[in-house]
Amino acid sequence: MNNRNVHSFHIPVLGIGYSIDTPVKVAHLGISSVVSLVDDILIEKMREFYSQKFDIPFQAISDKIDDFRAKRITAYLNLIDSIARQKFDELKSSYQKKGTELQKYLDMLPDTSQIKEKFLQMKESWSKTDFREWFQSNFSMGSIDVNIMTKVDKDNYKDNEKLPVEFNDGHAALRGFANSTLHSSVVLSAGMSPRLYAYLEKFKEFFPNEEYQLGKKITLKVSDYRSALIQGKYLAKKGLWVSEYRVESGLNCGGHAFPTEGHLLGPILEEFKTNRELIIQETHQLYIRALKDKNLPCPEKPFEVKFTAQGGVGTAEEHQFLLDYYNLDSVGWGTPFLLVPEVVNLDDETLDLLSKAKEDDLYLSNISPLGVPFNNLKNNTKDKEKNGFIDRGIPGSVCNKKFASLNTEFPEKSLCTASRRYQYLKIKELNAKKLSPEDHQSEYKNITAKACICVGLGTSALLVNELDTSIEKTGVSVCPGPNLAYFSEIVSLRKMTDHIYGKTNIIKRNDRPNMFIKELILYVDYLKNKISETTRPYSEKQKEYFETFRTNLNKGIEYYQNLFASSMKQICSGNDCTNELSAIQKLLDSNKMNSR
């Protein structure tokens, strides 16, 4: 089957449950998407749901059997792979009918698509055999990729005895993917994990076969070029090829945020553009050496490497500029798809909140048990549930799933910082301190701020599909990026793709800043908050951090001044972007931003 992308966008992983079954809905239409492998309990429920929906025999995988997590994941991925392929085959056989999925496939392609143009020219004269042959060579399914957050790799136990590391959550998820029928990528995010990266070597699917093909591929989600090069080389030395570097904005994104020290998306992509061939050649040399040492087939030329980006894109002009100027292979559209019920799982209450959200409703929070900044939406039902427990004097959540039980402060098994047990122990410690009422309340708020997002991010999938929520309760966490403030219309998949390709415009506001300007504003605000939150006098390390951050922002502003004056005139008309940059520069230089 042809694996060439027919679309220039992809749908990144959305929470734990929002995109858990997105491939079933879009893969047969040529759209690539990503499934989270965090929650095997949710995955098992969704496998039962789709088995019943498509009349496929279902045998439950009990948590009492050995390696149940990996087996659940393999079974679910095999199921959605099979369903997607079945829908693709049905699409192929419907070419002479109107109003079919094939017509939907074609309608959503960009107007410049050669496939679309050729089909319209030839469809009346083709025989069934001719069409099938042409279809096989030109049409393709979207890739069904999976995401593993490297930080979510909890130790596991059986009969109070710690299991070997390969039964850790992240390792088991990787094994579940490796043993599946999918020919796609594992997207590794949240930073480098030598332990998990080493485990990739255990699976022949990540190495080339005799035909120089990779059964499974590796995608790294990265924040900058240096990180990409380090990780790419590290894996190449093990004989593992990185097939895609997926660059994400540090702040102008959804989910967990990983802020850089003021390095901005535009300059980062420029560095990738400049060094594209260099990273490929340097990793290829190490890769060949490692394959020879393992007595594995060695391709003479480097395998294909894709460079993609995501975080804050919102218009067709921005989308096309990223593709053309930075030579990207695809652009990720995440947050806007939260308003496409046809594609994601979102309950009505949360969907309504999202459609009405403005800038002040979207904020970077400290609610994540992982200790990483987390994009949040005010008044979401999971936070309401959390605050209800606090008001009743029983802060924290009952930790049923334990996926984020990673804290080892106390002499018992690791705990989740959002759990009732952990918060009880921390509050007990706090009460033993002799603090002022103000300091006591401040620390109490920090302890109880954590929310059970590993449950909250999956519950919506159960609500939408009317599945049992007795373990999860009904509180829903949601993690849109700041870009959501400019999208207010709940739309169909067709209308969203039309927006991406410039056939229509679903943004009603006329005050949306360019995506690069928005990210810059977010970074300046982030630095300003860091400075104001830090107690003076600053340590030398703190001073160095602030000045490095400021220097990088100034370099970014200079880069954008040149870019807007030359290559981005069609997007930033008049002096709008230049004036905005000047205003931001003044703020950066003002006393409000003084870190000296």
Distances (CA, A) of 411 to 318, 400, 407, 539: 51, 20, 11, 33
252-280 pLDDT, tens per residue?
999 999 999 999 999 999 999 999 999 99
Mean pLDDT calculated for residue range 508-537 = 94
With a pLDDT cut of 90, the percent of the chain lying above it is 85
Backbone φ and ψ of 222, nearest 5°: -130, 160
Mean pLDDT calculated for residue range 240-254 = 98
Q: Please state, in angstroms and rounded to a whole number, the distance separating the CA atoms of residues 497 and 81.
A: 23
Mean pLDDT calculated for residue range 193-206 = 97
148-177 pLDDT, tens per residue?
999 999 999 998 899 999 999 999 999 999
Q: How far apart are the first and last CA of the chain?
A: 60
Q: Is residue 575 predicted with pLDDT exceeding 90? A: no
Under 8 Å between Cβ of 338 and 480: yes
Strand partners, 33: 11, 144
pLDDT at position 412: 79
Mean pLDDT calculated for residue range 520-538 = 94
The residue among 195 and 133 whose pLDDT is bigger is 195
Under 8 Å between Cβ of 466 and 475: no
Residue 138: pLDDT band by 50, 70, 90 thresholds?
Answer: confident
Mean pLDDT calculated for residue range 416-421 = 97
Q: Which DSSP state fits 27?
A: G
pLDDT at position 3: 55
Tokens, residue 574? 């008049």
Going from N- to C-terminal start, the domains of the chain cover 7-150, 381-477, 513-593
pLDDT at position 595: 64
Q: Quick one: how far is CA 544 from the chain centroid?
A: 31
Question: Cα angle at 394 between 390 and 400, to 5 degrees?
Answer: 105
Q: Is residue 125 predicted with pLDDT exceeding 80? A: no
pLDDT at position 568: 76
Q: Please state, in angstroms and rounded to a whole number, the distance separating the CA atoms of residues 375 and 382.
A: 14
Q: Is residue 98 predicted with pLDDT exceeding 70? A: no
Q: Is residue 307 predicted with pLDDT exceeding 90? A: yes
Mean pLDDT calculated for residue range 22-29 = 97
Q: Please state, in angstroms and rounded to a whole number, the distance separating the CA atoms of residues 322 and 439.
A: 47
Q: Which pairing describes strands 362-365 and 374-377: parallel, antiparallel, or unpaired?
A: antiparallel
Neighbours of 314 (CB within 10 A): 26
pLDDT at position 134: 81
Tokens, residue 469? 């929520």
User: Would you put residue 488 in left (φ > 0), alpha (ψ -120 to 50) or beta?
Assistant: alpha
364-385 pLDDT, tens per residue?
999 999 999 999 999 999 999 9
pLDDT at position 1: 42
pLDDT at position 82: 98
Kindly tell me the burial class for residue 390, based on how many C-beta atoms sit within 10 Å of its own C-beta (0-12, 13-18, 19 or more): middle
Strand partners, 161: 158
Residue 225: pLDDT band by 50, 70, 90 thresholds?
Answer: very high
- pTM for the model stands at 0.96
Residue 514: pLDDT band by 50, 70, 90 thresholds?
Answer: very high
Q: Please state, in angstroms and rounded to a whole number, the distance separating the CA atoms of residues 240 and 205.
A: 10
Q: Please state, in angstroms and rounded to a whole number, the distance separating the CA atoms of residues 384 and 367.
A: 13
Under 8 Å between Cβ of 486 and 314: yes
530-563 pLDDT, tens per residue?
999 998 899 999 999 999 999 999 999 999 999 9
Residue 592: pLDDT band by 50, 70, 90 thresholds?
Answer: low
310-341 pLDDT, tens per residue?
999 999 999 999 999 999 999 999 999 999 99
Residue 567: pLDDT band by 50, 70, 90 thresholds?
Answer: confident
pLDDT at position 102: 87
265-293 and 540-566 helices cross at what angle (nearest 10)? 100
Q: Is residue 33 predicted with pLDDT exceeding 50? A: yes
Kindly tell me the burial class for residue 32, based on how many C-beta atoms sit within 10 Å of its own C-beta (0-12, 13-18, 19 or more): buried
Average confidence score pLDDT of the chain: 94
pLDDT at position 135: 80
Residue 2: pLDDT band by 50, 70, 90 thresholds?
Answer: very low
